[in-house]
Amino acid sequence: MRGLVGWCGNRQSVATSPYPPLALRAKYGGMRLASVRLVALALLSWALGGCSLFNGLDVKSVATSVQKPSNVALYLAVSDGDQPVTDLTEQNFQVLENGQPVDPEQSGLTLLDRNVAAVHRTLLLVDMSGKADDKASRANIARAAAGFVADVHKIEDVTVYAFDGSPQLRLIGEYPASAEDGPDNIEALANFVPKDPSRDLDGAVIQALEQLDARLMIVKKPVRVGTLVIFTRGPDLAGRTPKEKLSQALDKTGHEVFAIGIGKDQGDFDLDSLGRTGVVRASSVGSLGIAFENAASRVRKDYNKYYLLSYCSPARAGQRALRIKVTMTDKQGDQHEGSYSTEFDSAGFGPGCNPRATPRFVVTAKKDSGKKAAPAPEPSGAHKPPATQNPPPAPGGDHVVPPPSKPGYAPTPDK
């Protein structure tokens, strides 16, 4: 691989020769010439493509809005491999309709405040299994979780749940988004007493995903993006939930899922199978503060990879092929690019468009299948959140719409 990357700065020698480079022929001397030529052709295509194999951005659309007079808006997520791409400006985006560039000045291409159309929320799921008299560990976990909440709640609402070997989660607290300082400690975690010393990890993750869905549905915004952060001290021990059911839930969800663990994985337990978006490891319980801090930093960066792009289309009729091209230059001076393509109908479009108008990401709400999310457990005693952190109405009522049918995107409630 290093050899291939090294050729990126010497494309001419690869592109102008009809035969494989000498070094390549020597290395693959035992191969048939036709096979070697196939390798060379692949390298030629890659070289002429500007090494996009290694520098390609991943551009995804969470939602698209098309409305009269000629407004087009997209809620996009941009990543470079597994790293979120932040701090992009309008200059990093190019719009093409039917293959033709759209003038950014004429179209008023702009990035709007994501909060006008989208809600982001994080749920922190904390493993409190183990011995009831392990006060030192609980104190470390409580401080680490508090640091996470203090950081993340500055950009979005945070919910904290705890689990042990019991079949139900225990609600610790709700922390609304605020610029004010967060908690220094979470007493409900520090004073947590396990009802069951076992660990129902798999069941807890599934319930946490349901609770995250339910809370996002309560907010009256059409674009809903959730993040689940799971801290676990080890594998599932209770065995109540089949592994296939957990895998299906993680495969189905459109939420970002991070995992925090301690030390190396034991046996067949794989923390990466939980943290589909990213994994952070602590060497011991005593160093959890740093691990939670790193996880919070990643959640904040992930939040900033989303962009609400808006412009006025010059189209006035017909189906349009839309392509959004994103280009950026990294600190090493290498250019990275990627794109997202879709189509929209411009029938009835005309003048008078304001690109700064709030987009209407509207879809028809689906009929309820009858299956409701499990109600949020009511906190009690030492686990009751402060009065300023009241939980939202218990999910499961008539006001809750069905689960999102697309990643990160949920239909609006019936009016």
Mind listing the pLDDT tens digit for each residue in 212-256?
A: 999 999 998 889 999 999 999 999 999 999 999 999 999 999 999
Amino acid at 294: N
Q: What is the pLDDT of residue 108?
A: 98
pLDDT at 401 > cutoff 90: no
Q: What is the mean pLDDT of residues 280-301?
A: 96
pTM above 0.85, yes or no: no
Would you say residue 74 has pLDDT above 70?
Answer: yes
Is 331 part of a structural domain of the chain? yes
As for how many domains the chain has, the answer is 3
What does the DSSP 8-state code read for residue 405? S
Q: Band the pLDDT of 97: cuts 50, 70, 90.
A: very high
Q: What is the rounded average pLDDT of the residues 197-220?
A: 96
pLDDT value of residue 181? 87
pLDDT at 1: 39
Residues 324, 238: one domain?
Answer: no
Per-residue model confidence (pLDDT) at position 362:
62
CATH number, domain of 236, equals: 3.40.50.410
pLDDT, tens digit (0-9, with 9 covering 90-100), for 245-277: 999 999 999 999 999 999 988 888 999 999 999
pLDDT at residue 159 greater than cutoff 90? yes
Specify whether 174 is located in the same domain as 205.
yes
Cis-peptide, bond into residue 379, ω within 30° of zero = no
The predicted pLDDT at position 380 comes to: 38
pLDDT at 385: 43
User: Which of 12-26, 177-191, 318-332 is predicted with the least confidence, judged by mean pLDDT?
Assistant: 12-26
CB environment 265-296: b (16+ within 10 A), e (fewer): eeeeeebeebbbbbbbbbeebeebbebbbbbb
Residue 409 lies in a domain: no
Higher pLDDT, 46 or 106: 106
Domain of 166 in residue numbering reads as 118-304+369-389
Domain presence at residue 197: yes
In angstroms, the CA 388 to CA 310 distance is 36
Beta strands 170-175 and 223-231 are unpaired
Q: What is the mean pLDDT of residues 129-156?
A: 94
Single-letter residue type at 188: A
Residue positions counted in the chain: 415
Query: Residue 24 falls within a domain, yes or no?
Result: yes
- Judge whether 218 and 413 are in contact, CB under 8 Å: no
- Asked whether the bond before 222 is cis by omega within 30 degrees of 0, the reply is no
- 35 and 8: one domain? yes
Residue 404: pLDDT band (50, 70, 90) is very low
The pLDDT, as a whole number, for residue 220 is 86
pLDDT > 60? residue 382: no
Say which residue, 124 or 35, is predicted with more confidence.
124
In a domain, 23, yes or no: yes
